[in-house]
């Protein structure tokens, strides 16, 4: 195409940039650390104990399977209600269900801690009326806590993926089955369920993948008794300093994830059946019968209990004094307080960090900003490279998605192994954290931008050119404007991911320069009401930032749907 | 002289010859309809003229000079895409203004020209609307306004009405015809619909097997289709096979008897024994006094459809083929009839 010539020659000239920058990032900060892990494994193979491999592996698979089943069990009815009924507050509810999904695991842990932990609302309330000395409910450090948190975390995937497929499903299909003599159950079994098979399977695989790689939830809610592969990698590396063992566990973790991802890719391959595109809202209606009203009410109550209550408990706990602080004796003045927020700015002598905790907020925002710039730049470049060269995509796609499959803990371990003795050592190179975050965020950014870029019809570019737009103007006035929303949502995603990232950060952040999640984790593991309160305050700040970015994301995707 | 010439275009597509030496020209102020079945390469020709694609060989001349080296965005040709390709992120007015902005018109001139362009397609009140909120017909008009706004040297329309429903299509055909005549911009109109081509084209160019098989004034093409393919493509019935039995006077032996067809202008005389195709176009059911008879043809009336002010008769010819013709009075189905043929009603088509 002749009009493409200037672009193409520019591409071949800047091709090095187009591919080079993202590839350099991948090679230098993903494949090199992964290779370093392999290297360390063969250095000292003696320190590997097989029993310590089988146990976490078995438990990881077991808890992931169970969590996925539970998430499906609770998520499918909610997906149905969202797909078929209109009710007041539905949009707010839908946004709220998304919130846990983008919340840092640390916050999730803190939220359940605030509700059901030994210092949580429920226990303090029960202790208050019964006069008991010890908290009557043990929720933390139980298997139940893990399962509940996983459902809390991942139910959004089922609601989103299955719910959207369900609402796209033409209700007339089910109606025509009914006209042909099928009972409601039969119509569901014979028509709806088969049509939803693929979205259900793909959502379940995604949930399984997340549960399989669960780290923060297990570490903070499961306690020492429960070890997934991720937690095992963490303890082997940071507590026992057994790097070969951690490396082996990472390798197993990575291979398992890759297998699941391959299956996921197989399930989603091929044309997703476009089931009669119709005007949105055609399939939803207000609940009519008493039974339908009950279903909707129950769903709302369930979601409230599961998701709003823990988060509400957390926020409320951050502004309430309920128990004595360290060094205080006698009756405590209970009531509302902003002390925990105020303390964030104070550099306490006995504080864990020797710097005002607000530094963690500043650090996190700074890292998130850098992450956003790196991952959006490289993600956009990669998206261009992939869209312009679809032939390369087939084999490059999985390569790029590898960082997505590798767990964050593995990445953190890789960074520690690879850069501990190099000029990039974590003591001297502050960009290590945002670089790790960028690798974790880049696949998300790519997934946001690539489809937007690919969906621009060739005729749009061509008609701009025919109307007199030079290649630069086609790029700037048409392409960039058309993908601006995708760019923005990629930016928001990467910002939020960086803000909440815990697994990799716990390996590579410098002790005197913690991020918010790391600080929350440390505060939670310290005794004392003030530390607890500050953890709650910091977690609340994270919730607010995440909620803000989620609202923006939701508005963006609404605007996207509208302009389609 | 605003004249576009296309010379010997060759283009392979996925290993097959799509364009196999295409030649035609468009003169100032005329509309050329490029007609061919889908997949015949019509759009590719437009894209080559626009500069979006390059031919394997061949040249495109504008005002006599080769423009192959001129990049697409400097040609100032208007091209209206089949899917309209409106910019979804811009309003109606911003879409129309896009080309003007790219050609660096001053702001005031842009406002004025956008209004003019919207007026031309009767869409003045739509300026601030989003293009995604428009109906198909409205989008079509905006795409046309956008293509015309910056006064292109040449306007190309790629099946612009294909996405519209029939009644809208007929309405817009008339509007387009008037608009093209008013603006006087030379235009190439691509379609696979021969009726549309007949309404809109000053001249027709028929593309078949990568070549222009016939090019000429619309009436001439309909009166003297150059080949059996052209006649069939234009929807003509009454094709008969036969063998040339004599050359002076020309006689062709068919299943319906001996007929005396007319030769196409400039056609070479066939040799005796040659297989030929005849096109029967009866205009009268009774012999006209004074006309030279070319023979008669018999058939059975299959049905007569009343079409408002005339009847369309479908005849089952003696050869087994079908013949449609127009009559002012109905004929009962099953009736045997013999139609008189004048010399101009019977054409000999080269294979």
Interval A272-306: pLDDT, tens: 433 333 334 456 778 888 888 898 899 889 988 88
Write out pLDDT tens, residues A447-496: 888 888 888 888 999 999 999 999 999 999 999 999 988 898 889 889 98
Residues B170 and B200 in one domain: yes
Q: What is the pLDDT of residue B311?
A: 87
Are B69 and B193 found together in one domain? yes
**B204 pLDDT tier (thresholds 50, 70, 90):** very high
Q: For A438, which DSSP code?
A: H
Share of chain B above pLDDT 70, in %: 98
Tell me what percent of the residues of chain A surpass a pLDDT of 70: 85
Is B72's Cβ below 8 Å from some Cβ in A? yes
pLDDT, position A16 = 64
Q: Could you tell me the two tokens for B178?
A: 């008037």
Of B224, B245, B261, the one marking the end of a domain is B224
Write the pLDDT tens digit of every residue in B222-260. 989 988 899 999 988 888 888 888 877 888 888 888 888
B205 with B250, same domain: the answer is: no
B349 or B292, which is more confident?
A: B349
With a cut of 90, say whether residue A148 has pLDDT above it. yes
Instruction: Tell me whether residue B231 is in a domain.
Output: no
Q: Which positions ≥6 away from B7 have C-beta within 8 Å?
A: B23, B58, B59, B60, B61
The verdict on a CB contact (< 8 Å) between A5 and B71 is yes
Same structural domain for residues B295 and B255?
Answer: yes
pLDDT at A283: 62
Evaluate whether residue B209 is within a structural domain.
yes
ipTM of the complex: 0.82
Q: How confident is the model at residue A424 (pLDDT cuts 50, 70, 90)?
A: low
Please choose, from the candidates A357, A354, A352, A355, the residue with its C-alpha nearest in 3D space to the C-alpha of residue A340: A357
**pLDDT given at position B305:** 87
Q: Is the dihedral of CA A452, A206, A499, A411 positive or negative?
A: negative
d(CA B8, CA B13): 16
B89 close to A (CB below 8 A): yes
Least CB–CB distance from A467: residue in B47, B82, B102:
B102
Q: Which of B102, B140, B143, B145 to mutate to test the interface with A (most CBs of A within 10 A)?
A: B102
Domain CATH for B315: 2.40.50.100
- Residue scoring higher pLDDT (A462 or A140): A462
In the predicted model, what is the mean pLDDT of residues B179-192? 91
Of B73, B79, B82, the CB nearest to A470: B73
What CA–CA distance (Å, rounded) separates A250 from B129? 55
Specify the pLDDT at position B93: 94
User: CB distance B102–A468 less than 8 Å?
Assistant: yes
* Chains A & B: contacts with CB separation below 8 Å: 88
Residues B108 and B220 in one domain: yes
Query: How many domains, chain B?
Result: 2
Determine which helix (DSSP H) or strand (DSSP E) holds B91, and give its type and residue range: none
* Per-residue confidence (pLDDT) for residue A273, from 0 to 100: 35
Of the two residues A265 and B347, the one the predictor is more confident about is B347
pLDDT of the residue at A1 = 45
Residues B157 and B286 in one domain: no
- Residue matched to tokens 């298997």: A143
pLDDT digits (tens, 9 = 90+) for A334-370: 677 777 887 777 766 555 555 677 888 888 999 999 9
Same domain, B289 and B180: no
Facing residue for B85 by CB, picked from A460, A481, A482: A460
Residue-range definition of the domain harbouring residue B84: 4-224
- Mind listing the domains of chain A with CATH numbers? 19-42+50-272+294-321+337-563 (1.10.3720.10)
**Is residue B228 within 8 angstroms of chain A, CB to CB?**
no
| Sheet of B311-317, strands arranged across | B322-327, B311-317, B293-306, B336-342
**Residue B229 domain flag:** no
Query: Residue B304 domain-assigned?
Result: yes
User: Are B49 and B193 within one domain?
Assistant: yes
Q: CA separation (Å) from B139 to A64, B126, B134?
A: 51, 11, 6
Q: What is the pLDDT of residue A353?
A: 55
The pLDDT score that the predictor gives to residue A124 is 83
- Choose one of B199, B224, B249: the last residue of a domain: B224
Question: Is residue B193 situated within a structural domain?
Answer: yes
Give the pLDDT confidence of A184-243 residue by residue, as tens digits. Answer: 888 888 888 888 888 899 889 989 988 998 898 898 888 888 989 999 999 888 888 888
- Residues of A in Cβ contact (< 8 Å) with B103: 468
> What pLDDT does residue A278 have?
35
B53, A470: Cβ pair inside 8 Å? no
In a domain, B107, yes or no: yes
Picking from A335-349, A377-391, B150-164, which range would have the lowest pLDDT averaged per residue?
A: A335-349
Distance between CA atoms of A224 and A230, rounded to whole angstroms?
A: 13
Say if residue B274 is in the same domain as residue B338: yes
What pLDDT does A279 receive? 34
**B213/B249 same-domain check:** no
- Quote the CA–CA distance of B351 and B340 in Å, as a whole number: 25
Does residue A93 have a pLDDT over 80?
yes
Quick check: A375 pLDDT over 90? Answer: yes
For residue A493, the model assigns a pLDDT of 86
The CA distance from A557 to A563, in Å, is: 10
Q: Which among B168, B203, B224 is the end of a domain?
A: B224
What residue in A sits closest to B152 (Cα-Cα)?
A467
When mean pLDDT is compared over A63-72, A174-183, A188-197, B32-41, the highest value belongs to: A63-72
Within 10 angstroms of residue B287's Cβ, the number of other Cβ atoms is 14
Say how far apart CA A241 and CA A239 lie, in whole Å.
6
Same domain, yes or no: B110 and B133: yes
- What are the pLDDT digits (tens) for A11-35? 555 566 677 788 888 888 888 988 8
In a domain, B269, yes or no: yes
Task: Give the separation between CA B127 and CA A229, rounded to whole angstroms.
Answer: 60
User: What is the rounded distance in angstroms from the CA atom of residue A165 to the CA atom of residue A201?
Assistant: 12
Give the one of A3, A481, A562 whose C-beta lies nearest to B72's C-beta.
Answer: A3
Domain check: are B26 and B50 in the same one?
Answer: yes
**Higher-confidence residue: A172 or A39?**
A39
Among B54, B71, B72, which would you mutate to test the A interface (most chain A Cβ atoms within 10 Å of its Cβ)?
A: B72
Q: Is B230 inside any structural domain?
A: no
* All residues at 6 or more sequence positions from B15 whose CB lies less than 8 Å from its CB, including other chains: none
pLDDT tens-digit readout, A160-182:
888 888 887 777 777 788 888 78
The pLDDT mean for chain A works out to 81
Summary mean pLDDT of chain B: 88
């Amino acid at each position: 195409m002749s009009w493409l010539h200037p672009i193409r020659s520019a591409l071949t000239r800047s091709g090095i940039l187009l591919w080079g920058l993202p590839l350099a990032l991948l090679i230098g900060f993903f494949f090199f650390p992964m290779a370093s892990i392999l290297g360390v494994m063969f250095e000292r193979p003696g320190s590997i104990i097989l029993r310590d491999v089988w146990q976490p592996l078995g438990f990881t698979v077991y808890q992931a399977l169970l969590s996925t089943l539970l998430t499906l069990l609770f998520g499918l009815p909610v997906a149905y209600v969202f797909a078929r009924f209109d009710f007041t507050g539905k949009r707010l509810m839908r946004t709220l269900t998304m919130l846990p999904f983008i919340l840092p695991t640390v916050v999730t842990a803190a939220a359940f801690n605030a509700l059901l932990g030994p210092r949580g609302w429920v226990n303090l309330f029960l202790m208050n009326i019964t006069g008991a000395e010890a908290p009557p409910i043990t929720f933390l450090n139980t298997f139940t806590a893990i399962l509940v948190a996983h459902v809390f975390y991942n139910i959004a995937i089922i609601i989103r993926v299955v719910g959207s497929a369900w609402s796209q499903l033409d209700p007339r299909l089910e109606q025509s089955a009914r006209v042909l003599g099928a009972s409601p159950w039969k119509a569901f079994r014979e028509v709806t369920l088969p049509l939803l098979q693929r979205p259900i399977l793909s959502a379940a695989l995604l949930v399984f993948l997340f549960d399989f790689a669960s780290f923060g939830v297990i570490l903070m809610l499961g306690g020492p008794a429960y070890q997934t592969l991720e937690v095992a990698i963490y303890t082997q590396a940071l507590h026992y300093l057994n790097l070969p063992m951690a490396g082996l566990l990472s390798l197993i973790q990575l291979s398992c994830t890759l297998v699941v991802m391959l299956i996921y890719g197989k399930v989603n391959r091929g044309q997703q059946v476009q089931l009669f595109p119709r005007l949105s809202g055609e399939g939803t209606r207000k609940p009519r019968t008493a039974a339908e009203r009950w279903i909707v009410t129950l769903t709302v109550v369930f979601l409230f209990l599961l998701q709003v209550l823990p988060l509400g408990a957390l926020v409320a706990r951050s502004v309430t004094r309920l128990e004595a602080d360290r060094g205080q004796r006698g009756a405590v003045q209970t009531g509302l307080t902003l002390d925990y927020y105020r303390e964030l700015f104070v550099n306490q002598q006995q504080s864990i960090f020797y710097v005002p905790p607000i530094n963690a907020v500043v650090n996190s925002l700074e890292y998130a900003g850098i992450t956003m710039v790196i991952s959006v730049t490289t993600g956009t470049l990669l998206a261009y490279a992939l869209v312009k060269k679809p032939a390369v995509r087939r084999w490059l796609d999985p390569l790029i998605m590898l960082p997505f499959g590798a767990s964050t803990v593995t990445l953190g371990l890789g960074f520690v192994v690879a850069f501990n003795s190099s000029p990039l050592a974590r003591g001297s190179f502050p960009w290590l954290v945002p670089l790790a975050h960028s690798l974790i965020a880049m696949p998300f950014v790519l997934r946001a931008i690539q489809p937007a870029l690919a969906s621009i019809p060739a005729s749009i570019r061509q008609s701009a050119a025919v109307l007199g737009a030079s290649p630069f103007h086609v790029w700037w006035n048409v392409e960039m404007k058309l993908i601006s929303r995708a760019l923005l949502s990629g930016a928001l995603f990467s910002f939020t991911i960086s803000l909440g990232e815990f697994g990799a950060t716990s390996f590579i952040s410098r002790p005197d320069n913690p991020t918010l999640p790391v600080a929350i984790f440390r505060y939670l593991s310290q005794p004392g009401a003030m530390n607890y309160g500050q953890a709650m305050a910091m977690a609340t700040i994270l919730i607010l930032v995440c909620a803000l970015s989620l609202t923006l994301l939701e508005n963006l995707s609404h605007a996207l749907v509208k302009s389609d | 002289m605003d004249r576009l010439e296309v010379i010997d275009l060759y283009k392979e597509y996925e290993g097959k010859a799509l364009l196999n030496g295409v030649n035609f020209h468009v003169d100032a102020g005329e509309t050329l309809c490029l007609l061919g079945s889908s997949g015949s390469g019509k759009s590719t020709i437009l894209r080559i003229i626009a500069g979006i694609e390059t031919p394997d060989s061949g040249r495109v001349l504008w005002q006599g000079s080769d423009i192959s080296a001129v990049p697409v965005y400097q040609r100032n040709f208007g091209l209206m895409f089949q899917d309209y390709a409106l910019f979804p992120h811009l309003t109606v007015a911003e879409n129309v203004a896009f080309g003007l902005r790219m050609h660096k018109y001053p702001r005031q001139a842009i406002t004025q020209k956008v209004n003019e362009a919207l007026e031309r397609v009767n869409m003045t009140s739509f300026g601030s609307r989003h293009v995604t909120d428009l109906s198909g017909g409205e989008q079509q008009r905006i795409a046309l306004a956008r293509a015309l706004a910056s006064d292109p040297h040449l306007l190309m329309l790629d099946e612009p009405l294909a996405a519209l429903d029939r009644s809208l299509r007929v309405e817009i055909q008339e509007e387009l015809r008037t608009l093209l005549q008013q603006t006087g911009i030379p235009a190439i109109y691509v379609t696979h619909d021969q009726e549309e081509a007949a309404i809109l084209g000053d001249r027709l160019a028929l593309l078949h097997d990568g070549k222009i098989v016939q090019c000429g004034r619309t009436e001439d093409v309909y009166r003297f289709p150059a080949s059996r393919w052209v006649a069939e493509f234009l929807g003509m019935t009454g094709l008969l096979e036969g063998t040339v039995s004599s050359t002076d006077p020309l006689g062709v032996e068919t299943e319906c008897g001996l007929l005396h067809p007319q030769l196409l202008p400039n056609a070479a005389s066939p040799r005796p024994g040659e297989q030929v195709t005849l096109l029967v176009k009866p205009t009268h059911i009774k012999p006209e006094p004074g006309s030279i008879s070319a023979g008669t043809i018999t058939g059975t009336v299959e049905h007569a459809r009343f079409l408002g002010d005339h009847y369309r008769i479908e005849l089952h010819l003696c050869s087994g083929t079908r013949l449609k013709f127009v009559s002012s009075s109905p004929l009962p189905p099953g009736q045997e009839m013999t139609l008189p043929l004048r010399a101009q009603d019977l054409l000999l088509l080269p294979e």
